[in-house]
Every structure is written in structure tokens, then in C-alpha cells.
Chain A
Amino acid sequence: MKQLQSFVAKWGIEFPYAREELIESSQNVFLASKEQRERLTQIPRDIFSIGLPLGGIRRGQFVPSFVLLDEIAARDVKKAILSEKAEWLFICGRDVFKEGVVSCNAFQGDFVIIQNTRNECLGYGRLENGARVFIKNLLDRGDFLRRERQAGRQR
């Protein structure tokens, strides 16, 4: 929960959820409706997932869900818009080079929401403005495929 709060705080926005809407379970935080929270009291067992996941701890670090990133992207935060080609490379896990950026309102060291030209959130990164890497990829939607591959290996 604390990690969720400090992740949101990095973006300089108000925490978008009420405390009672959040349910924690095995190092994950979920956004649950009132109906779900009431049902939860009727089924006194460990819940695996409820409502929408907001994020969880992976290898000791808080990893936001894309539900949370979409919520942050809807606010007035720092953003970078990528070209179609750079969009694909980013989704494949690559960092972003300057040539791939259509527009960006961030400064060095800022966290940035990465979007495509349709304003859809593809992930987030940190602006580095280095000789080659412009934005370091911290999380991209290709993660869904990587998670599946990993789960497949564990099965």
C-alpha cells in the first residue's frame, strides 16, 4: 500500500483512490467496488484477485498495473508521445531514442507516461536525455507477453 502511494506521489498528483476501495492480498493491491467488498466479508477466505489490480511487489520492487498507469495518464502529468515505429520498439522492451519521440513535455530525471499518437498509454519511463537513450523504459505493455512466457515456463 505504501509503495502504491509513493509510486503515485512520484507523478505529483493527488492519490486517486479512497482507502476503503483498496484491498491488499499477497503483495498486490486491488481496486474493489463496494459490492465486492461486501461479498468479501461473506466469503472468509484468501482472495487471489478482486476487481482491478493496481500493482504489486515483484522482485522486491513495486510494479504498477496498466490500470494504474491509465489512471495516471488521464491526469496532467509528464508525457512523451512516440512515433509508430518507436511505439513498437518500446513495447518490445527497448528504451526510446530521441528520433522516436513526436513530443515530450518532461525534463531530465522526470518520470514520463509513454503514449502512442492515439494517446493510448503504452507504459512509463524516465527521461535520461543521454547521448543515445532519451527515455529509459521502466515498464511497457509487452510485459503481458513476458508474464505469460514466464508463467508458461513455470507450468
Chain B
Amino acid sequence: MGSKELFFQRYADLGESPRDVRVHQTIRVNTLKTTHQLLKDRLERNNFKLERIPWLQDGFAVKKSKQSIGSTTEYLLGHYYTQEAAAQLPVHVLDPKPGDMILDMTAAPGGKTTQMSQLMQNKGTIIALDLSNRLYSLKNNIERMGASNVMVYKKDARFVTDFKLQFDKILLDAPCSGNFVGDREWFEKRTFDDMKVRARLQKELIKAAAKVLKPGGILIYSTCSLEPEENEEVIDFILKKDNSLSLALIDLPIGDHGLPKAFGQSFHPDMAKCRRLWPWKSQTQGFFIAKVTKQ
């Protein structure tokens, strides 16, 4: 049995009927620079066909295109960001407001950072961390999108307590093993050991996040992995470790509940409050989102 069969068998064991999925390219309109209608009119004049995604605030699917959506004048002017539909959800769940002080723990290349800036209307502060060379892409995207309320540090987020700051809102869009949608080689690249290494890092990151979250604050944990080891198991770990934390219900018109159990392991009884996007149901990338609050 090849890797694809192994992974699909795992999803089947979790009660799913997995199959291959092709998703449309999607964009997020940058309302700091333009409006939905203006951008739609402009791109459609250039032979693109855009369709509003009803469950996103600023998301459009690109239904037809004659040129790459990643290299138009409008793209270079920062009128939109090419961001997968499901990837636009975690920020909506965090619900950034103008004036907030937000920690974006693993920020590069900045899809969600610039999305937050736009919802904050550039008011308040985002402290954005990352440690890879993708920081240069983050800086470019800040410039292109005009996201002026971001402070970026090259920093291992596991040690964010060094900053001696506490946050009302935290986004931990964790490094993960990804999913197979749009990546033909994904199955060949991934091993279960790989996943375990990621899960270890994810647990360290969420532990650090919990330490710098203010009482009454919100922490969003998200990944684009479908594997319970990188999702429910990480959330279960932190809820057990810190009893001031609990899960809040994510109310979205798309996706399934988090899994109450996986491969013989039972998780925290509130896990159903999390959200899971299975690609063959949502027609998006795979995604997992948890909303953790602190007493």
C-alpha cells in the first residue's frame, strides 16, 4: 500500500470518505486599498471571473483566468492577497478589532498578519514573529498590502515569554505537515515520524502561547493539517496542562466538529467546539481551528 492509501485509510478510520479534491484559487480583497466592487470590476475587465465566497468577509474564488492571478498590476498594487479560502477563517474566528494588541506567533509570509491589519484598519499593534527566511516575504507583503501596524521580530516563538508582554489575542497558525490538496507530491513527502516531530514543536509553541495569554484573552490555534496528532491532540495536551484554559465554540457556517476521539484515544469532551475542514466536504484546503480562552 502506498502512502496515499495509508493516509486515506486513516481518514476513513476517522469516519470519513476521502477523495481527491481540486479547489479554485482564491483571493482576499485588501480593503485597506480598494473595495470588493472596484477590484471585481477591474479584474473582470481583464478576463478574470470572480465569485464571492459567501462564508468569508473578503474572499473571492477565481473561476476563470487568462493570466496568473499572482502577477497582475492589481496584485502588485496590493489590492488583494492570494490566500486559500480556509486559510482566511482563523483570523475571522480571532476577530481582530481596531486598537487590539495581537501576537502572531508564526507569521511569515504574512497572509494572516496582513488580514488582521486590514480588519484592524491598521489601528493597534500586531507583534509578528517567525524565524525563517520567509520573514523577507512577510516584509514584502507588509509593504505591498500597506499593513502599517505590524512589528516583526526574528524570534523563536517558543521563547516569546522573553518579551515580558501579555496579549488579549494570539494567533498560533502553527507550522504543520500540511495536506494533500494542491500538492501532488504531498503523500510521498510525508511520514508519520515527520508528523510526530511537528506535534512536539506545536505543543511547545502552544505552551508558550498559553503563558503570554492574558486572563479573558483568546488564543486561536490553527493548522492546515488533517492529522489529529497535530490538532486535537495538541489542544487536549494544553487543556490538560493548564486548567485555566477552556475551549470556546466556533460558530462557522462551514466545516465539521473537532474529533472527540481518534485511533483509540479520547480527547477533551469539549473538542467538538473546534472546527475541522475536510477538503472533500468543504471543497477547500484541509484546516483545523481551535478557539482557546483563559479564565
Q: Measuring CB to CB, which residues of chain A are less than 8 angstroms from any residue of chain B?
A: 31, 33, 35-36, 39-40, 42-43, 45-53, 65-67, 87-88, 91, 116, 120, 122, 141-142, 144-145, 147-148, 151, 154-155
Contacts and interface: CB of A to CB of B under 8 A. Distances in A.
B148 A116 contact: no
Contacts of A154: 133
Interface in B122-154: 124-125, 127, 132-140, 142-144, 146, 148-154
A144 B151 contact: no
Given A45-B155, A144-B144, 6 more contacts: A39-B127, A43-B163, A50-B150, A50-B151, A141-B76, A147-B136
Q: Is the interface of B mostly helix, strand, loop or mixed?
A: mixed
Nearest to A120: B77
Contacts of B143: 52-53, 65-67, 144
A21 to B, nearest CB: 12
B295 interface: no
Interface in B92-137: 124-125, 127, 132-137
A91 B133 contact: no
A116 B73 contact: yes
B125 A151 contact: no
Contact of B77 (A48, A49, A141, A151): A141
B152 to A, nearest CB: 4
A91 B135 CA distance: 24
B148 A91 contact: no
A144 B76 contact: yes
B165 interface: yes
A116 B77 CA distance: 11
Contacts of B146: 52, 67
Contacts of A147: 136, 140
Nearest to A53: B143
A45 B136 CA distance: 18
B243 interface: no
Contacts of A122: 73
A90 B16 CA distance: 50
Given A65-B143, A151-B133, A49 B152 contact: yes
Nearest to B76: A141
Which of B137, B151, B152, B153 has most chain A Cβ within 10 Å?
B151
A155 B133 contact: yes
A77 B77 CA distance: 20
A50 B165 CA distance: 17
A65 B78 CA distance: 13
